[in-house]
Structure 1
Amino acid sequence: MHTEAEQTAKQLLTDMVSDELLALYTRLLRIDGCLREEAANLLDGPEQVEALIGAGSALVRSSGPGTPAQLVPTRPDLALQGLLVELSRRMVADQDRLLTGQRRMSTMHLWPSSMDGSADGLVQVIVDRDQISRVARGLISSASFEWLTLDNQSVERPMDELTAVPPPPSFDGHVRCRAIYESACAEHPVGLKTIEIAVEAGEEARLLPRLGMKMKIADESIALLPLTPTGMTGALLIRSPVIIGALREYFEFLWERAVPFGAASPLSDMQKYVLNMMVEDVTVEQMAKRAGVSVPTIRRHSTAIRNMLGVDLPFAAGAAAVRRGWVK
């Protein structure tokens, strides 16, 4: 019986544990356990006993009060299962370290550091299109706890040709990802799909009627700003703590004023009433008469609605509101 168990142990654990540990385990199987106090003598020392217990190949057991404790071997299949659990735990820890190391390496390779506190490398102008793309990819990989972006409709190709790409899987549970989009992005089918995919991947998204520029910030240390509308032919890579702090304050200022993506209409009851009349293309005078208010009041509500939607003309506000789901 014990010979069969030893053979099974060798089949399951060979090359999974050290030869020394496997020899100790099969020896314990052969003698079918022993008194805990005698284990060190039988198994070549207390370190070997602790190694067996630590590997899940043996356990200390007592039959009851007053009964001497015994060191008994774990069943070979359970010993392998425990070993696999421990290996999985180590792999997860190693994967976390690998991701952290890759982020740090990409940061070191893509832009110069300023470890001496001098101004060298705090601001870098990039005009090569390929380098800008590499830096943008490296920037998102370097984020370890926070990723902030501003995005508008300034693109070099038609949005119909763009591909929606969610945040990296490594962001899940590790990096808080927040993005503010220009409202027009959510009114284009491709732009809307892009935002939806990012939100499904864990991004927190908000909308503003207008955004004057794009921006990317990784943690509290690195930012990428455009020098051109799209940012693909000229960009600023910034490591200055002073500028980064100001850019983050600017982002938070916009974040507080932005509307959460997918949120219900932010309009008041009167503004909703005015908006519905704008959709019907009713004149300002007719709106005032229907609502029982003055013409200046209607104009004030109309201006506020158009500002929230980021449009200039009343009929454009109606169309934008329909696309956004504020009116049916």
Structure 2
Amino acid sequence: MGSEVEQKATRLLKGIVPDELLASYTRLLAEGACKRDEAPDLIGGIDQVEALTRSGMAHVASSGPALPQRLVPVPPDLALQATLADLTRRLVADQERLLDGQRRMAETHPWTASVDTETGDRLVRIITDREEISTVSRALISTARQDWMTLDNQSVERPMDELTAVPPPPSFDGHVRCRAIYERACAEDHIGLRTIEIAVEAGEEARLLPRVGMKMKLADESIAMLPLTPTGLSGALLIRSSVIVGALREYFEMLWERATPFGAVSPESPLNDKERRVLSLLVEGVPDSVIAKRTGMGLSTVRRHTATIRAKLGHDHHHFAAGVAAVRRGWIK
């Protein structure tokens, strides 16, 4: 039975990355980190080391010029984010090659131009027309039958106004759960704050994070819209692939657990500096033994800190759950 963080990695990445790469990543996670020159023996060869670093699932770190470099795994949620970014780039490239090939085929055999190209567009479609992007973006909300989820940040091409807000339609009431995660800066701008309030008044559940790296719209687990530019107004991906949309749903749920409910007051953390350091690793699902190595504390000291953290939380949370609970209370960011 693997550790909780290894199980989480498998749940998030199984079917998204090759099984061999996932096996190498989970072995590195179990170790916490290893010397770079020992990594090939640990995880299955230099090719696997290069694949992990190239995909953003691990990085090489150094504590100083006199110390050996280490191969360090990134947390599973960041590994998923890096994998999705890489997959998106490859999908765009594949789609462009497909469209180029279809154009060449049409030029070589004109009668093929009338063939239905819906199959090529079914899983991933690139939209670059601004008007069409706006139309599809507004219409997408009506396709949700159970869940409507969005990520939003301050990347805009023009000043915001209250007309920017797109509250849930009345038909959502009692039928579709509408949730949104906003970058905290959105709520710090008076117009941004008002747009969130309008949506919340209409039935939206809103939460805030210090930073939201990209915009996203997701209807159930059937269709998603991702930006190809920071604002998404000049390029977007419309995705119907169940594998990718399912992974995006997992990513949203992870962020939702970390986010602070809109309007909630973040209490001052009752933790001292060492406890916050331990907790910041707990939220990544790092085992006690690895926390001891990273912080230079003894294992018994780490366990004493984790027990104190659980006591202050008022529940017998374990590892990752304790971190999630503390993040939601605003004790760490």
Q: TM-score range by the shorter chain?
A: 0.3 to 0.5
Greater relative contact order (Cα < 8 A, sep 6+): 2
Structure 1 length normalisation: TM-score? 0.45
